[in-house]
């Protein structure tokens, strides 16, 4: 969310940014919100003048009423002053109601005007214009056919989609046996990997209030993702970023305690509306999954350095399991409205002979901090908005797909990467049961 003062002083910059994000339908909002802001500031100014005059008029009425007791000719003047006090009070009440109404209208518009993107972001209308920056590891296509990932899991009696469909519907699954254990091994390894980078491990609330939802994500994302608890002001989180950033709502953090570097485990719940197609089946795009996340709250001047560190942590983690990956820079049209800059880490799929998304790293600048009032106090006493960043550490459903495909052997067995051996009780190879 942008500062209203910035929009007022830089309308052309805001409009140009909207054009870069290919959201021309939002261009009129800039002039609308500036006009509403001018009306609101005029109402506030008039209200402040009335408040300043209130005490003076009240004293004048008291004085005139006292004089009228001695001189009845003063009574009319006193009554006129009383009438003016009442008229001012009525007008003040009107102005205060108007201020509230205008503030709500301004707030709603500010929620949908996109954040100013970083100058380095490539310009393009959608994800087809995302730019590959760098590859890590050599992608390999074996000389044998690789089955669909649920078929690999089924060979270990490790997944039951049919039972999950009967119990919960499409988009859910049962993981069983070695596959379930591998799922947990990946999560535990991701947790310890981030702790080794100096991050503090955290398990957050899995439900959050609506004001936190509004603070951490764009309105379009909210409608398409979040499950609401009926009859309560609670939403199931789509990622632990939501409750982790929400932890700092209305807080002023001492500068000495920045950066806050946290790695959080949670289940994630998503509607995933409009997701179809063969590659969306299985456990690739689902309504419930578990994830290890990384969160940073820092000073503005440090956020780009943290962005660089965080996506490289993802690369390091995947490469430690011998999974080839690439970094893909997200273009302007593919950025959610709160994001300043974002990239995806994509893992190699030998079956598809292409890369697919497994991590998303984002710098949100002060967008979430402004909405949630997350600030820090410098040594000089100055209070500023912090910057927030997030990145996927591991989301095992997709990580499992990459791990199984890249470690599948011709005989159907799967090699376990060495870093996971301690989390698998020393098991080095999974042997199919069917």
Whole-angstrom Cα distance, residue 374 to residue 372? 6
Is pLDDT of 277 > 50? no
Percent of the chain predicted with pLDDT > 70 = 91
Average pLDDT over residues 143-154: 95
Mean pLDDT of the chain, nearest integer: 91
Sheet of strand 235-236, all strands in order from the earlier edge strand to the far edge: 207-208, 235-236, 227-228
Beta bridge partners of 262: 200, 295
Tens digit of pLDDT for each residue in 312-331? 999 999 999 999 999 999 99
Tens digit of pLDDT for each residue in 363-407? 999 999 999 999 999 888 899 999 999 999 999 889 999 999 999
Tens digit of pLDDT for each residue in 192-220? 999 999 999 999 999 999 999 999 998 76
Q: What pLDDT sits at residue 50?
A: 84
CA torsion through residues 275, 281, 285, 287, sign: positive
The tokens describing 104, both together, are 């709500």
Tens digit of pLDDT for each residue in 10-23? 999 999 999 999 99
Confidence of residue 70 (pLDDT cuts 50, 70, 90): low
Domains of the chain: 4-112 (1.10.287.40), 127-430 (3.30.930.10)
Q: What pLDDT sits at residue 278?
A: 46
The tokens describing 114, both together, are 């996109």
Beta bridge partners of 391: 294, 361
Q: Number of helices (H) and strands (E), helices first, in the chain?
A: 13, 18
Global pTM reads 0.89
């Amino acid at each position: 969310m942008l500062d209203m003062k910035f929009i007022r002083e830089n309308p052309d910059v805001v409009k140009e940014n909207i054009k870069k994000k290919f959201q021309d339908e939002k261009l009129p909002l800039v002039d609308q919100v500036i006009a509403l802001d001018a009306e609101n500031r005029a109402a506030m100014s008039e209200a402040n003048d009335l408040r300043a005059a209130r005490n003076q008029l009240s004293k004048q009425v008291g004085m005139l009423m006292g004089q009228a007791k001695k001189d009845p000719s003063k009574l009319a003047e006193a009554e006129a002053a009383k009438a003016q006090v009442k008229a001012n009070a009525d007008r003040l009440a009107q102005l205060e109601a108007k201020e509230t109404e205008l503030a709500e209208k301004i707030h709603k518009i500010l929620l949908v005007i996109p954040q100013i993107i970083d100058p380095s972001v490539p310009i393009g209308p959608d994800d087809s214009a995302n730019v590959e920056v760098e590859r890590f590891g050599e992608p390999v296509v074996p000389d044998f056919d690789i089955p669909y990932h649920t078929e690999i899991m089924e060979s270990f009696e490790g997944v039951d989609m049919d039972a999950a469909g009967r119990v919960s519907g499409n988009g859910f699954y049962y993981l069983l046996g070695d596959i379930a254990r591998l799922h947990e091994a990946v999560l535990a390894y991701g947790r310890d990997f981030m702790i080794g980078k100096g991050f503090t491990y955290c398990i957050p609330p899995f439900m959050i209030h609506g004001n936190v939802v509004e603070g951490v994500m764009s309105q379009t994302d909210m409608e398409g993702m979040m499950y609401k608890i009926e009859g309560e002001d609670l939403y199931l989180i789509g990622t632990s970023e939501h409750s982790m950033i929400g932890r700092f709502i209305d807080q002023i953090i001492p500068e000495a305690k920045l950066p806050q570097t946290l790695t959080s485990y949670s289940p994630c719940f998503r509607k995933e509306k409009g997701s179809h197609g063969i590659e969306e089946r299985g456990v690739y795009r689902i309504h419930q999954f578990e994830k290890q996340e990384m969160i940073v709250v820092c000073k503005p001047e440090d956020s780009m350095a943290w962005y660089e560190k965080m996506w490289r942590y993802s690369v390091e983690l995947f490469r430690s399991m011998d999974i080839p990956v690439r970094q893909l820079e997200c273009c302007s049209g593919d950025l959610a409205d709160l994001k300043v800059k974002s990239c995806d880490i994509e893992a190699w799929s030998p079956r598809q002979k292409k890369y697919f998304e497994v991590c998303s790293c984002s710098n949100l600048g002060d967008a979430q901090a402004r909405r949630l009032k997350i600030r820090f106090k410098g040594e000089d006493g100055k209070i500023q908005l912090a910057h927030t960043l997030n990145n996927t550490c591991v989301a095992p459903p997709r990580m499992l797909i990459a791990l199984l495909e890249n470690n599948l052997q011709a005989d159907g067995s799967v090699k376990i990467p060495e870093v996971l051996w301690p989390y698998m009780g020393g098991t080095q190879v999974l042997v199919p049961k069917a």
